[in-house]
Structure 1
Amino acid sequence: MKKPKVLVTRQVANEAIALLEPAAEVKVWESDEPIPRERLLAEVEDAEAVLSMLTERIDEELLTRAKKLRIAANMAVGYDNIDLPACKRRDIWVTNTPDVLTEATADLAFALLMATGRRLIEADRYVRNGEWSSWSPSLMAGQNVYGATLGIIGMGRIGEAVARRAKGFGMRIKYCNRNRKEQAEAETGAEWASLETLLRESDYVVLLTPLTEETRLLMGEQQFSWMKPTSVFINVSRGGTVDESALYQALVSRKIWAAGLDVFQQEPLPQDHPLLSLPNIVALPHIGSATEQTRADMAKLAAANIVAVLEGRKPLTPL
């Protein structure tokens, strides 16, 4: 009996492929570059499962071609690249990879906060470019981290993990979330606040919401105007949650002090993007979960979800 076909849209950890091979014929797009759209559409026509990345749109066009598809397993927490209603109409499972990337992403968020607040990337360039000729009291002076006020927008698993790190730095923590998180409040001392209050009172603002219709362009001109001129904005959520033109203007006019960004509306970011012209920006290439161990765990969880569905069981992390 012929095994069902699984399409893996990027090279992933060998352990994940090993999980799939006993149950399926595995077709891997063996490149670090995204699979071309036309090739993706052709390959899914006879696939019963796809292990996808955020770079692949699982939309109406693709689903119309993928007559045999039973599961789309996204190797990410986010799933704004997948048309959930269209999958539901076709009884196609959609899964993501929560939990396994929480701590790695929280590490990155806090590292980005510190690198931006203390001007670490700028200081590194200063030394490498041979500009360091003497010491002065104002040389690469940044903002305090220890004892500062941190505002977390989106107190999910990653937000709570960031709050735990902030507690170790003696930070006062405020958070904005649809629901109160009493356990997180008890554990970290975090205080619930409205978005406006959080933005007005925080020295650092970390955005960690998923991209939904409610959060699209959540941070715009009005929101940046509420922030302190010494405040630092960090985005480790999705690029679509921020009005980048408004952010650029806030940075140029010094309405806010600096920004650290791991995500952008267009990825990869064009080299002529206005934000890259600013010295008070730290820009990263969407590497929130990028540790070798975490990416392997994400791939294995996505593979385990696929195997469960192909064997007639419910997946581990269904959306």
Structure 2
Amino acid sequence: MRIAVLDDYQNAAHRFADWNTLDAEVVFFNEHVSSTNTLLERLRGFDTLVAMRERTAFTAERLAGLSDLRLLVTTGRANAAIDLEAASRHGITVCGTDSVPHATPELTWGLILALVRRIPQEAAGMRQGGWQHTVGGDLHGRTLGIVGMGRLGARVSAIAGAFGMRVLAWSTNLDPDHARGCGAEPVSKQQLFSDSDIVTLHYKLSERSRGIVSRRELAWMKPTAYLVNTSRGPLVDTPELIAALGQGRIAGAGLDVYDTEPLPADHPLRMLPNAVLTPHLGYVTEETYEVFYRQVVENIAAYRAGAPIRVLTA
């Protein structure tokens, strides 16, 4: 058995599980490969691949070209970048792992605080010898709008209560009683975007939700409001967001996810002073990686024993 662990950006995967128990050749790849031809050449001869979330897409074309592949393990319970139907056609077993529910909500609040209190600007000023260049905002008494009240949105709502914020919630199929139980007021989409001082997205990406924040929603927002996205980049119409930020139609944005990842070095978002950007860190924590890679090893061992576990199906 030859195992390839992909997109190990931090050179960290080896220390979060005991890979030696697999008695197999394990190769850790640190850099991302976007070219399909290069990827297929690199992965020739590997019968087991480990994908870190959606960093590398496994399309029908790519899966057809991976003739040696028998087991594909992704971190997390769902991976929109894997064509599960194509994997099944090619006899490839796909397994997932559990994850921790608190990591992304915690980063969400890191982005909110960074935006409202101007932390990146002031930290940069300190390194340049400066002192107090901005006046920050407040969270207490302000309104937080949560788009999507699943397990992550509910955690964000609970923390908002500790800051003394009013919380609004909207989603296409929102259960009003569930929202109220999470401390949020169910409202219409327009009211959420219009009334909120901060709008944060916690929504599953699908063809229906793609572009759920478009020119219209951005126009509804106050010029003093902020948009935060730690879910998926395509939920937002990125060109419209760039225009809104550049023209000062909203105060700023905190983004952890993008249409293309890694975000190109010359991407316009990188040039905007009112955008706080992080490189998809929502799940990148010690505890999350411990769960991910420990269960990856368990999945591989179970597959080798003829009894696959945590199998994902289309």
1:7 corresponds in structure 2 to: 4
Residue from 219, 243, 251 that aligns with 1:249:
243
Q: Are the counterparts in 1 of residues 149 and 179 from structure 2 also a CA contact under 8 Å?
A: no
The separation in 2 between residues aligned to 1:310 and 1:168, in whole angstroms, is 48
Q: Are the counterparts in 2 of residues 5 and 49 from structure 1 also a CA contact under 8 Å?
A: yes
1:115 corresponds in structure 2 to: 114
| Per-residue deviation, 1:151 | 1.4
The separation in 1 between residues aligned to 2:136 and 2:241, in whole angstroms, is 20
Q: Are the counterparts in 2 of residues 48 and 69 from structure 1 also a CA contact under 8 Å?
A: yes
Q: Are the counterparts in 2 of residues 73 and 303 from structure 1 also a CA contact under 8 Å?
A: no
With normalisation by structure 2, the TM-score equals: 0.85
Of 163-172 and 187-196, more deviation after overlay is shown by 187-196
| Per-residue deviation, 1:33 | 1.2
Aligned positions, number: 308
With normalisation by structure 1, the TM-score equals: 0.84
| Per-residue deviation, 1:90 | 3.7
1:262 corresponds in structure 2 to: 256
The separation in 2 between residues aligned to 1:70 and 1:194, in whole angstroms, is 47
Of 36-45 and 230-239, more deviation after overlay is shown by 36-45
The separation in 1 between residues aligned to 2:188 and 2:85, in whole angstroms, is 31
Alignment partner of 1:160: what SS? helix
2:162 corresponds in structure 1 to: 168
User: For 1:136-170, what per-residue CA distance to the aligned partner results, in whole angstroms no more than 9, with x for missing partners?
Assistant: xxx52233212321112222322222122112112
1:65 corresponds in structure 2 to: 65
2:226 corresponds in structure 1 to: 232
User: For 1:207-231, what per-residue CA distance to the aligned partner results, in whole angstroms no more than 9, with x for missing partners?
Assistant: 1223321222222211100111111
The separation in 1 between residues aligned to 2:243 and 2:99, in whole angstroms, is 36
1:33 aligned onto 2:27: no
Alignment partner of 2:120: what SS? helix
Alpha carbons of structure 1 residues 126 and 69: separation in structure 2 relative to 1, 3 Å: same
| Per-residue deviation, 1:93 | 3.7
Alpha carbons of structure 1 residues 154 and 175: separation in structure 2 relative to 1, 3 Å: same
Alpha carbons of structure 1 residues 299 and 118: separation in structure 2 relative to 1, 3 Å: same
Alignment partner of 1:212: what SS? coil
Q: Are the counterparts in 1 of residues 190 and 220 from structure 2 also a CA contact under 8 Å?
A: yes
Q: Are the counterparts in 1 of residues 210 and 236 from structure 2 also a CA contact under 8 Å?
A: yes
Alpha carbons of structure 1 residues 231 and 263: separation in structure 2 relative to 1, 3 Å: same
User: For 1:173-196, what per-residue CA distance to the aligned partner results, in whole angstroms no more than 9, with x for missing partners?
Assistant: 222234435675354312333322
Alpha carbons of structure 1 residues 199 and 93: separation in structure 2 relative to 1, 3 Å: farther
Residue from 281, 288, 291 that aligns with 1:297:
291
Instruction: Show the 5 A alignment for 1:1-319.
Output: 4-9=1-6, 10=8, 11-14=11-14, 17-18=17-18, 21-23=20-22, 25-29=24-28, 31-35=29-33, 37-38=36-37, 40-42=39-41, 44-53=43-52, 54-67=54-67, 69-76=69-76, 79-100=79-100, 102-132=101-131, 140-181=134-175, 184-185=178-179, 187-316=181-310, 318=312
Q: Are the counterparts in 1 of residues 75 and 296 from structure 2 also a CA contact under 8 Å?
A: yes
Q: What one-letter code is carried by the residue in structure 1 that aligns with 2:123?
A: D
The separation in 1 between residues aligned to 2:252 and 2:79, in whole angstroms, is 29
The separation in 2 between residues aligned to 1:300 and 1:184, in whole angstroms, is 34
The CA RMSD over aligned residues, in Å, is 2.7
The separation in 1 between residues aligned to 2:116 and 2:135, in whole angstroms, is 9
Q: Are the counterparts in 1 of residues 78 and 96 from structure 2 also a CA contact under 8 Å?
A: yes
The separation in 2 between residues aligned to 1:17 and 1:149, in whole angstroms, is 42
Identity fraction in percent: 33
Alpha carbons of structure 1 residues 244 and 156: separation in structure 2 relative to 1, 3 Å: same
Deviating 4+ runs (over 4 angstroms): 35-39, 43-46, 181-184
| Per-residue deviation, 1:109 | 0.7
Q: What one-letter code is carried by the residue in structure 1 that aligns with 2:307?
A: R
| Per-residue deviation, 1:235 | 0.9
The separation in 2 between residues aligned to 1:217 and 1:185, in whole angstroms, is 23
The separation in 1 between residues aligned to 2:311 and 2:154, in whole angstroms, is 20
Q: Are the counterparts in 1 of residues 202 and 229 from structure 2 also a CA contact under 8 Å?
A: yes
Q: Are the counterparts in 1 of residues 75 and 98 from structure 2 also a CA contact under 8 Å?
A: no
The separation in 1 between residues aligned to 2:232 and 2:311, in whole angstroms, is 21
Alpha carbons of structure 1 residues 253 and 34: separation in structure 2 relative to 1, 3 Å: closer
| Per-residue deviation, 1:21 | 4.4
Structure 1: 5+ residue stretches without partners: none
